[in-house]
Structure 1
Amino acid sequence: MKILLNIEKTFRELLQQEDTDQDKKITKDDLGPKRFVLVDELTKKEEMIEGTYHLSNLLQELATLKEKGELTAEVDLDFIKEEPVQRISRKIRDDYWNELTRTIDKKGLEQILKDEKTSNDIATLYVSAKDEQGIAYFQELEKELKSFKVAILPENYTMDYVDTLNSKPGILALALEKNKSGLQGVPFVVPGGRFNEMYGWDSYFIAAGLLIDNQLDKAMAIAENFRYQIIHYGKILNANRSYYLTRTQPPLYSSLLVDIVKQKTPDLNWLRLHLETVILEYNTVWMVQGGRLTSTALNRYKADGVGMPFEVEPGHFDDVLIEYAKKYNLPVREFEKQYLNRTLVDAELDMYFVHDRSLRESGHDTTDRLINTCANLNSVDINSFLYKYEKDIAYLIKAFFNNAFLSDDLVYTSEQWEQKALFRKEKMNELCWNENAGMYFDYDFVNEKQFPFEAATTFFPLWAKLCSEEQAKQLVEIALPKFVKTGGITGSTKASSIAYSHENAPQRQWDYPFGWAPHQMLLWEGLINYNYSDKAQEMVYRWLWLITKNAVEYNGTIPEKFDLEISSHKVFAEYGNVGTEFDYIAKEGFGWVNASYQLGLQILNNSLKLELNKMTSPEDLF
């Protein structure tokens, strides 16, 4: 049913009555009557809209029409009164993915270069010296647009060279492809909010959502940009900005390939190119002794570079710098300036930042699990991911290449990769599994002992299918209850968060009480892998209830993360909460939370979907 409205008048009156805190949203915090009468301009028939959820839907529909310049238009009441689950999923599928899609080309470059993180007067686009096609294309574009400058990265740049780029930071080019009219950027999907570039592990979880929503081309495009980054920058980057050239991200490229081939049998030449690149990344990024491969034969996160990471806000490290400023009898800002300029060098502080850069490489920026220790740890997460790489490569070689795959003049068989996986599994069981705790812990290979911080990464072996049935049982029955809150699992247990927190440090966003989509998604799939179907249903419901409740009560808001102690997007931790700042319309959600919603709905049974629409509390069901 549709109703004809004066858009501007209705929009203005609705806000005046219902948006009492004037934040350009209608939420549960507003004190209006939560009842608004619509009058059809033609028939004068009245329609009552009641409740925060329906009023915020009305606001969004009116704002959309207003943006289109509509003066008088029909508003579809079915959209306003749509069930929450259907509305959220529909908007993710039909709107949010498109809103989050970017290209680095004539059409899309301006949007990226205007990003708030572009601080210099004329934005810089860095292009790899190996990308001759890209250099030619972007140099022509530079002459035409005159709004940015092209800089060419040397073919074998050093980390010292990368450090010099901090005075002129910029975007790194990604892949181009040919179309009928010439070249265009291979699309990628950004997380949302202030994150306007392609992030490493975010992209894998986003791709999982794209595949569910039948957007195979965009998922394959993410794989193309992964491949481009490995060939031209040596690794899948934390993100495609110049100051991220020193670090990679959790390896999920092989998982993306497996997900793609399970949806559609690919062109074998396409798959061959990508499998070659996965193996290249495995060998050159992860398996270099003394780098990310350690003496235990297990891996660690280990970023390059010296000093403070470029991207953090001023004052972020004051809790650390204060002590060093005292040591050198300097004011904090003066010490920071001299340290950044390297006119003052402190080896101990340099080591602190090696660990800090490495934890950012892990994607868990930040957690007390990894503060000042990350590069010393054979972490459960990285070794679970690499076990999955080894198993995936074995599977792809056997399923698509007749068990013989040629790469760099070497012939690989599935058996070789199965042996690598078996070796890693045995090493993880030897060093990381703790039978008494029923959990996996990171192994501190420097001090030769487990680091008993209870983190959600302990469930990653379930996802990778690394653990035995008995280990899975202990993880589910002993470990999992320590993490479960009403809306899902927290990044760490409360006990570990208290035990390992640092004095005067900010609240770490990847620890208790915060909940993140990747942790939930990997847990769900892990539970399903080991036939804990009922528990998977419960955990999916808890997280989807939280997203749905938040969207219903707060104008469609889908944030980066949640505080699970209060089941809210109102997070008080370092970096705030991306995805919560918008006017009138929630246009894009947040990448991996969008994906988690679509994945969760694919898993959840119909009876629980009905309960979800009723907003039934998980505590009343489980």
Structure 2
Amino acid sequence: MVDSVPINKLSEGEEEGEDDPLLSLLQLIQQTAHASFGHSATFDPKPYLDLSLKTPLSSASCAFRELLASTNGTPEVRELSRYLEDHFEEAGADVEPYEPPDFEEDGPEGFLPRVESDVVRWWGLEVHRLWRSLSSRVVARVRECPERHTVVDLPEGFMVPGSRFRELYYWDSYWVIRGLLASKMYVTASATVTNLIALGARYGYVINGARTYYANRSQPPLLSAMIRETFNATQNLGLIKSSLNVLVREHQFWNSGKHKVIIQGPDGRQHCLSRYFAKWNRPRPESSTIDKESASNVSEKEGFYRELASAAESGWDFSSRWMRNPADFTTTRTTLVLPVDLNAFILGMERDIAFFAELTGDKRTAERFWTASRERVEAINAIFWNEHMGQWLDYWLDDDSLLEPHTWKASRQNKNVFASNYIPLWLQPIYTDHLVVEKVVRSLQDSGLICPAGIATSLNNSGQQWDFPNGWAPLQHMIVEGLVKSGLEEARALAEDISSRWIKTNYAVFKRTGEMHEKYDVTNPGEFGGGGEYVPQTGFGWSNGVVLSFLEEFGWPGDREMDAH
């Protein structure tokens, strides 16, 4: 049964996006380079999509055709390198370092007031200083000749995650902003929001990242949460006024077309929920060679490519969470999953839009979105909540997902434990009943997810990066903050314990490597994580932001122990 589940196909007339001549050429170069390097396991296809033209596209295309013709389609590395040097700038040449206007080398006044240890304060300042190295802006010539670049022009400077990620990313930016606010860099936080609003205005939704090849999908929708946090710190009503129409359009994006699913719940009512569904049925451009290899033994390749792009839209690329058979990557069926966390994020968006509309005097919009938020709370609790497990569980749609409404069946709840099962805590109050929150806290304590160095992403060691034993900063932060928001003493104690484990492993890895990392091995304190389709990355925007947020909220419970080191 597991292997027989069909992959969703494009419906007639569905938008896929137009072919971009520069992207088409860069993908050909990417594939040629992959062949030239002998299909090396360390080959990273993304940098080839980040190249900028030195010469007109027509000249570069003609020269590439001549190169292939003269080498029987298989140029040697030196020949390909010479071609690239003649016609392209290096990857990353389309952005440049940028000094944030509100950055203070020695930290702002009142920085991390709960940190007493000199050692921990030194480390906190080192993490704070990373903002300077991660700060970038798009070079002026991108605005002058956008057709020569894959980077999307942005109005303000921005923070990159780090390493191979040289552009602004969507959901990463929420935790970057939380860190910037801890560093009291309000101007830079506001600039980040302004950039994302600009992307939303341009595309109708915020794309995965500020590259043209990311326009086929979005990422977890946290723009409204970023605006709310920035507004709370700055009281800048202009930011809200400039964002409201974009947020309403983004909400429509997630609640229409293929993203929208209607399901009849166990309460007999029809509920409207959302899923990830990328408008793409080809290899992801930035990972084209990888996707083609993954699909080599798949008969319905177009459908499989859509599932991979949809997993990338989720931010969890990749995880057994999306696989019908956790041992078989080709059973990835992201579009057949109603995800707990996505719907929690959209609930937050609905509440934020209602609040923002009230601030601007738009009572009609406010009432519309307050109503939508109440309906989504009912849907989340009807479809995802599992009383026995004390968790909200993802829901597998019927095999034929084009038939609506779907009828809820208990057997279709995914009983596997993922950190995402606890994300609704972050959207307090989904429940006002403390007994329910106590049940969720006990469930988390007994889940097996809490490890020596933090919360594991799942309990399944699939080799994918969004699975055991990796822990990710966003998941730690949302669950910890949700526990704190509950107001229960037991929940806050658990939050402090989890944050302490996470901070300590981040510190230990930093002390050993001199770097902040993208992900961490939560079973081995002091070790960074692995797995996935690229080598582990350093930098790292959201890890920095969560560490600074935790230090600001909790301080360090082991200050004397730290000073002894």
Taking structure 2 as the reference length, what is the TM-score of the superposition? 0.70
**Pairing of 1:176-195 with structure 2 (within 5 A):** 186-195=156-165
- Return the offset for 1:194: 0.9
Match of 1:602 in 2: 552
Do structure 1's residue 516 and structure 2's residue 516 form an aligned pair? Answer: no
Q: 1:541 to 1:306 in 2, by over 3 A?
A: same
Match of 1:75 in 2: none
Q: Conserved in 2, the CA contact under 8 Å of 1:199 and 1:240?
A: yes
Q: Conserved in 2, the CA contact under 8 Å of 1:442 and 1:450?
A: yes
Q: What CA deviation, in whole Å up to 9, does each residue of 1:28-69 have, x standing for no partner?
A: xxxxxxxxxxxxxxxxxxxxxxxxxxxxxxxxxxxxxxxxxx
Q: What is the aligned residue count?
A: 416
**340, 348, 354: which one pairs with 2:306?**
354
Q: 1:169 to 1:366 in 2, by over 3 A?
A: farther
Find the aligned partners of 1:387 and 1:235 in 2 and give their Cα distance. 17
**416, 420, 426: which one pairs with 1:463?**
426
SS in 1 for 2:274: coil
**Pairing of 1:539-618 with structure 2 (within 5 A):** 539-554=498-513, 556-580=514-538, 589-605=539-555, 607-614=557-564
Find the aligned partners of 1:471 and 1:509 in 2 and give their Cα distance. 31
Q: Conserved in 1, the CA contact under 8 Å of 2:500 and 2:557?
A: no
Q: Conserved in 2, the CA contact under 8 Å of 1:560 and 1:577?
A: no
Match of 2:486 in 1: 530
**220, 236, 250: which one pairs with 2:190?**
220
Match of 1:271 in 2: 240
**Pairing of 1:235-246 with structure 2 (within 5 A):** 235-246=205-216
In structure 1, runs of 5+ residues without a counterpart are: 1-81, 110-124, 126-137, 140-148, 152-167, 176-185, 325-345, 406-410, 502-506, 581-588, 616-622
**357, 360, 377: which one pairs with 1:425?**
377
- Return the offset for 1:187: 0.9
SS in 1 for 2:395: strand
Find the aligned partners of 1:351 and 1:420 in 2 and give their Cα distance. 32
**Pairing of 1:482-497 with structure 2 (within 5 A):** 482-493=448-459, 497=460
Match of 1:103 in 2: 137
Match of 2:121 in 1: 86
Q: What CA deviation, in whole Å up to 9, does each residue of 1:100-125 have, x standing for no partner?
A: 1111133xx7xxxxxxxxxxxxxxx5
**Pairing of 1:295-374 with structure 2 (within 5 A):** 295-296=262-263, 297-312=272-287, 314-315=289-290, 318-321=293-296, 323-324=297-298, 346=299, 348-371=300-323, 372-374=332-334
Do structure 1's residue 286 and structure 2's residue 254 form an aligned pair? Answer: yes
- Return the offset for 1:551: 1.3
Find the aligned partners of 1:416 and 1:316 in 2 and give their Cα distance. 41
Do structure 1's residue 210 and structure 2's residue 244 form an aligned pair? Answer: no
Q: 1:613 to 1:421 in 2, by over 3 A?
A: farther
Q: 1:317 to 1:470 in 2, by over 3 A?
A: farther
Q: What CA deviation, in whole Å up to 9, does each residue of 1:382-427 have, x standing for no partner?
A: 00000111111222233x234x35xxxxx312x3322211111111
Do structure 1's residue 171 and structure 2's residue 176 form an aligned pair? Answer: no
Q: Conserved in 2, the CA contact under 8 Å of 1:384 and 1:466?
A: no
- Return the offset for 1:456: 0.6
Structure index of larger Rg: 1
**420, 444, 449: which one pairs with 1:479?**
444
- Return the offset for 1:315: 4.4
Find the aligned partners of 2:451 and 2:121 in 1 and give their Cα distance. 25
SS in 2 for 1:525: helix
Q: Which amino acid aligns with 1:416?
A: R
Find the aligned partners of 2:382 and 2:509 in 1 and give their Cα distance. 42
**387, 408, 415: which one pairs with 1:452?**
415
Q: What CA deviation, in whole Å up to 9, does each residue of 1:223-250 have, x standing for no partner?
A: 1111110111222111111211100011
- Return the offset for 1:270: 3.3
Find the aligned partners of 2:562 and 2:535 in 1 and give their Cα distance. 24
Q: Which amino acid aligns with 1:230?
A: G
Q: Conserved in 2, the CA contact under 8 Å of 1:387 and 1:466?
A: no
**424, 436, 447: which one pairs with 2:388?**
436
Find the aligned partners of 1:451 and 1:606 in 2 and give their Cα distance. 37
Match of 1:248 in 2: 218
Q: Conserved in 2, the CA contact under 8 Å of 1:537 and 1:605?
A: no
Q: Conserved in 2, the CA contact under 8 Å of 1:307 and 1:353?
A: yes
Match of 1:385 in 2: 345
Q: Conserved in 2, the CA contact under 8 Å of 1:569 and 1:577?
A: no
Q: 1:356 to 1:524 in 2, by over 3 A?
A: same
- Return the offset for 1:319: 5.0
Q: Conserved in 1, the CA contact under 8 Å of 2:471 and 2:529?
A: no
- Return the offset for 1:604: 1.4
Match of 1:70 in 2: none
Q: 1:172 to 1:275 in 2, by over 3 A?
A: same
Q: Conserved in 1, the CA contact under 8 Å of 2:217 and 2:279?
A: yes
Taking structure 1 as the reference length, what is the TM-score of the superposition? 0.64
In structure 2, runs of 5+ residues without a counterpart are: 1-116, 264-271, 324-331, 400-407
Find the aligned partners of 1:315 and 1:597 in 2 and give their Cα distance. 32
Q: 1:169 to 1:441 in 2, by over 3 A?
A: farther
Q: 1:214 to 1:384 in 2, by over 3 A?
A: same
- Return the offset for 1:606: 5.4
Of 601-610 and 234-243, more deviation after overlay is shown by 601-610
Q: 1:521 to 1:280 in 2, by over 3 A?
A: same
SS in 1 for 2:349: helix
Find the aligned partners of 1:317 and 1:517 in 2 and give their Cα distance. 30
Q: Conserved in 2, the CA contact under 8 Å of 1:425 and 1:466?
A: no
- Return the offset for 1:286: 0.9
- Return the offset for 1:453: 2.7
Q: Conserved in 1, the CA contact under 8 Å of 2:484 and 2:495?
A: yes
Q: 1:357 to 1:470 in 2, by over 3 A?
A: farther
Q: 1:576 to 1:487 in 2, by over 3 A?
A: farther
Q: What CA deviation, in whole Å up to 9, does each residue of 1:578-608 have, x standing for no partner?
A: 445xxxxxxxx31011111100101214544
Q: Which amino acid aligns with 1:574?
A: G
Find the aligned partners of 2:533 and 2:122 in 1 and give their Cα distance. 29
Q: Which amino acid aligns with 2:281?
A: V
Find the aligned partners of 1:231 and 1:193 in 2 and give their Cα distance. 28
Q: 1:385 to 1:609 in 2, by over 3 A?
A: farther
Q: 1:538 to 1:614 in 2, by over 3 A?
A: farther
